[in-house]
């Protein structure tokens, strides 16, 4: 099938293939202004996209911030409503983080003054009533403290809201804290306060948070572990007595200053943690992302993901997203086609115990800097990407966002959606994961520890996980460990890597 005068529409959904691959139309603020920072934060559910513009001027003052709700239509998105704080003030950073699910929208203002405490931070909850988003409730720390930045990280899962306060007081002064709120039918009330069991001042616990009930994860990127200031993340489980600490996770190979845990994500039994300042292949601050898989109460490193061609100071993984077996990783400071800071996003899909690169999306509007990929969100088979330094029309550095269809990926960059190539027989997909086999051929399955080469250390690391009973050694993805996993791993190992 063709559209628009002969342009291909291979999946016959009335959207031209090239348009699907480039994303649907831009989302921008009405009457955009330079340095609005629209796209600093982004969230979405199956029907809406919520975009934060933390430096937007409003009736409350200069740089108070705003957030925008868009209806997520099949052919794009249309502005539904602007949200501003009912008591906003200059420099609040309203819109620094956002979350949306069903009839609830949540906007953080990490720098808001509360109770006479400068930059204590606040979170604003809105509810959809009769087609209109109405302010519902303002949340703050039980005891607001100076520069705690309550709301630096937020996430929403059903009737629970998780808020991070990365300079709040829990285990130690300024060690950071996180708070779980639950909607009780009348309002959002604090259910639990969480601190790191070994927290120290300056850990940054709560700088990022994510919840996938009954699990939640909190990042602490400045935590010192094993004498190395590399960062950590903490996983908690909701039990009968509340939220219980379950596991502290760190990368297999730590690097000082990699800020592991600056952003976290979780979906069912998979946790995703960034390390955007990790040195990769000799490139400083190239960045990496780590995937962890749960076995009972243990969370074990599953994969380390890096850019296809790492660049110095790319900060790959500064923003991440995860939904089911699909993840996205932003490299907002990447040079694309010679344009510094244009940005890119890489999409991965889980294939058995591996994460395979399914597409690389370069900025569709490269600018220096545009910082495409600074914010990401996934829901319902779509990916929303923010570029808060990009131009909105003719307005420089106002910011924009774009929504992409994750069913229109193009891993081999031939401008034809992969699903169409698989359907028409141009590509094979023997394992049925919707990724052409040719795009999986570069996955070195014998490199168990993601060092970049297959070595005897991979055998040691695989066997260590296997005999510890970790499902990261479930090489054939049968959901149980058996001697067949050993045979399959050794087969992959001795097959070598391309």
pLDDT of 481 above 60 = yes
| CA dihedral over 216, 288, 206, 250, signed as positive or negative | positive
Buried b or exposed e, range 14-47, using 16+ CB within 10 angstroms:
ebbbebbbbbbebbbbeebbebbbbbbbbbbbee
- For residues 402 and 465, state if they share a domain: no
Q: How far is CA 63 from the centre of its chain?
A: 25
Dihedral in degrees, nearest 10, Cα atoms 424, 425, 428, 432: 40
Average pLDDT, the chain: 91
pTM: 0.92
Which H helix or E strand runs over 17? helix 17-22
How many CA atoms within 13 Å lie on the side-chain side of 81?
A: 13
For residue 492, the model assigns a pLDDT of: 87
Residue 423 lies in a domain: no
Q: Kindly report the backbone phi and psi dihedral angles of residue 305, in degrees, each rounded to the nearest multiple of 5, phi listed first.
A: -110, 135
With CA atoms as reference, report the closest residue to 418 among 439, 395, 449, 391: 439
Distance CA 333, CA 316 (A): 8
Mean pLDDT of 162-167: 96
Q: Alpha-carbon Rg of the chain, whole angstroms?
A: 22
Return all residues near 453 (Cβ < 8 A) that are at least 6 apart. Answer: 444, 447, 497
- For residues 405 and 449, state if they share a domain: no
Can you state the angle between helices 456-467 and 483-495, rounded to 10 degrees?
170
pLDDT in tens, 276-288: 999 999 999 999 9
- For residues 475 and 405, state if they share a domain: no
Residue 439 lies in a domain: no
- For residues 363 and 481, state if they share a domain: no
Identify the DSSP state of 263. S
Q: How far is CA 493 from the centre of its chain?
A: 31
- For residues 332 and 458, state if they share a domain: no
For residue 310, the model assigns a pLDDT of: 95
Identify the DSSP state of 336. B
Residue 417 lies in a domain: no
- For residues 362 and 454, state if they share a domain: no
Residue 427 lies in a domain: no
How many CA atoms within 13 Å lie on the side-chain side of 259?
A: 17
Per the CB < 8 A criterion, the answer to whether 344 and 364 are in contact is no
The vertex-43 CA angle with 39 and 45, nearest 5°, equals 140
Residue-wise DSSP of 414-476: SSS-HHHHHHTTSS--TT-SSS-HHHHTT--TT-TT-SSS--HHHHHHHHHHHHTT-GGG-TT
Confidence of residue 438 (pLDDT cuts 50, 70, 90): confident
Residue 430 lies in a domain: no
- For residues 470 and 344, state if they share a domain: no
For residue 67, the model assigns a pLDDT of: 98
Last residue of a domain, one of 382, 409, 436: 409
pLDDT of 478 above 70 = yes
Residue 421 lies in a domain: no
Buried b or exposed e, range 463-489, using 16+ CB within 10 angstroms:
eebbeeebbbbbbeeeeebeeebbebb
- For residues 225 and 344, state if they share a domain: yes
Per the CB < 8 A criterion, the answer to whether 383 and 404 are in contact is yes
Confidence of residue 129 (pLDDT cuts 50, 70, 90): very high
Residue 416 lies in a domain: no
Last residue of a domain, one of 362, 388, 409: 409
Domain with residue 316: its CATH number is 2.130.10.130
Last residue of a domain, one of 366, 392, 409: 409
- For residues 320 and 456, state if they share a domain: no
Is cis: bond before 211, omega within 30 of 0?
A: no
Per the CB < 8 A criterion, the answer to whether 76 and 403 are in contact is yes
Return all residues near 99 (Cβ < 8 A) that are at least 6 apart. Answer: 43, 50, 105, 106, 154, 155, 156, 161
- For residues 497 and 357, state if they share a domain: no
Helices first, then strands: H and E counts in the chain? 5, 29
- For residues 232 and 377, state if they share a domain: yes
Q: Kindly report the backbone phi and psi dihedral angles of residue 15, in degrees, each rounded to the nearest multiple of 5, phi listed first.
A: -120, 125
Identify the DSSP state of 16. -
- For residues 453 and 388, state if they share a domain: no
Distance CA 58, CA 66 (A): 7
Confidence of residue 254 (pLDDT cuts 50, 70, 90): very high
Buried b or exposed e, range 423-455, using 16+ CB within 10 angstroms:
eeeebebeeebbbbeebbeebbbbbbbbeeebe
Which H helix or E strand runs over 485? helix 483-495
Number of domain units in the chain: 2
Q: What separation in angstroms does the CA of 93 have from each of 61, 63, 122, 304?
A: 12, 7, 10, 33
Residue 470 sits in which domain range?
A: 444-498
pLDDT in tens, 344-375: 999 999 887 789 899 999 999 999 999 999 99
More reliable by pLDDT, 333 or 20: 333
Residue 495 lies in a domain: yes
Distance CA 351, CA 308 (A): 18
pLDDT of 168 above 70 = yes
């Amino acid at each position: 099938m063709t559209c628009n005068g002969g342009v291909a529409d291979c999946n016959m959904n009335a959207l031209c293939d090239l348009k699907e691959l480039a994303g649907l139309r831009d989302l921008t603020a009405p009457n955009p202004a330079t340095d609005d920072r629209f796209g600093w934060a982004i969230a979405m559910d199956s029907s809406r996209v919520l975009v934060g513009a933390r430096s937007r001027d409003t009736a409350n003052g200069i740089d108070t911030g705003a957030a925008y709700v868009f209806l997520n239509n099949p052919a794009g998105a249309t502005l539904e409503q602007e949200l501003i704080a009912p008591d906003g003030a200059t420099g609040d950073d309203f819109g620094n983080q956002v979350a949306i699910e069903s009839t609830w929208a949540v906007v953080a203002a990490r720098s808001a003054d509360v109770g006479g405490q400068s930059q204590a931070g606040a979170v604003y909850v809105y509810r959809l009533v009769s087609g209109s988003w109405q302010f519902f409730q303002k949340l703050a720390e039980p005891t607001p403290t100076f520069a705690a930045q309550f709301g630096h990280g937020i996430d929403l899962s059903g009737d629970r809201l998780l808020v991070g306060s990365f300079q709040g007081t829990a285990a130690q002064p300024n060690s950071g804290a996180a708070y779980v709120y639950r909607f009780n039918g009348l309002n959002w009330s604090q259910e639990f306060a969480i601190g790191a069991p070994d927290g120290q001042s300056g850990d940054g616990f709560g700088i990022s948070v994510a919840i996938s009930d009954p699990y939640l994860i909190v990042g602490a990127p400045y935590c010192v572990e094993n004498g190395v200031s590399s960062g950590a993340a903490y996983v908690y489980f909701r039990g009968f007595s509340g939220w219980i600490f379950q596991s502290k996770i760190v990368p297999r190979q730590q690097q000082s200053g990699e800020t592991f845990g600056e952003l976290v994500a979780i979906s069912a039994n998979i946790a995703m943690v960034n390390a955007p300042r990790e040195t990769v292949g000799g490139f400083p601050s190239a960045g990496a992302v780590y995937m962890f898989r749960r076995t009972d109460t243990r969370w074990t490193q599953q994969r380390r993901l890096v850019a296809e061609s790492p660049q110095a100071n790319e900060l790959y993984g500064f923003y991440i997203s995860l939904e089911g077996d699909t993840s996205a990783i932003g490299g907002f400071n990447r040079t694309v086609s010679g344009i510094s800071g244009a940005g890119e996003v890489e999409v991965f899909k889980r294939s058995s115990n591996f994460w395979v690169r399914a597409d690389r999306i370069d900025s569709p509007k490269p600018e220096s800097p545009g910082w495409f990929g600074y914010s990401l969100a996934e829901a319902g088979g779509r990916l929303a990407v923010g570029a808060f330094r990009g131009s909105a029309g003719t307005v420089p550095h106002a910011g924009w966002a774009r929504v992409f269809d994750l069913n229109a990926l193009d891993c081999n960059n031939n401008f034809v959606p992969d699903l169409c190539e698989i359907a028409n027989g141009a590509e094979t997909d023997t394992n049925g994961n919707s990724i052409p086999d040719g795009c999986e051929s570069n996955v070195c399955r014998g490199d168990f520890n993601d060092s970049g080469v297959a070595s005897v250390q991979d055998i040691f690391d695989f066997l260590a996980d296997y005999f510890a009973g970790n499902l990261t050694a479930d090489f054939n993805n049968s959901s149980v460990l058996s001697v067949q996993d050993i045979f399959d791993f050794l087969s992959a190992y001795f097959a070598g890597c391309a």
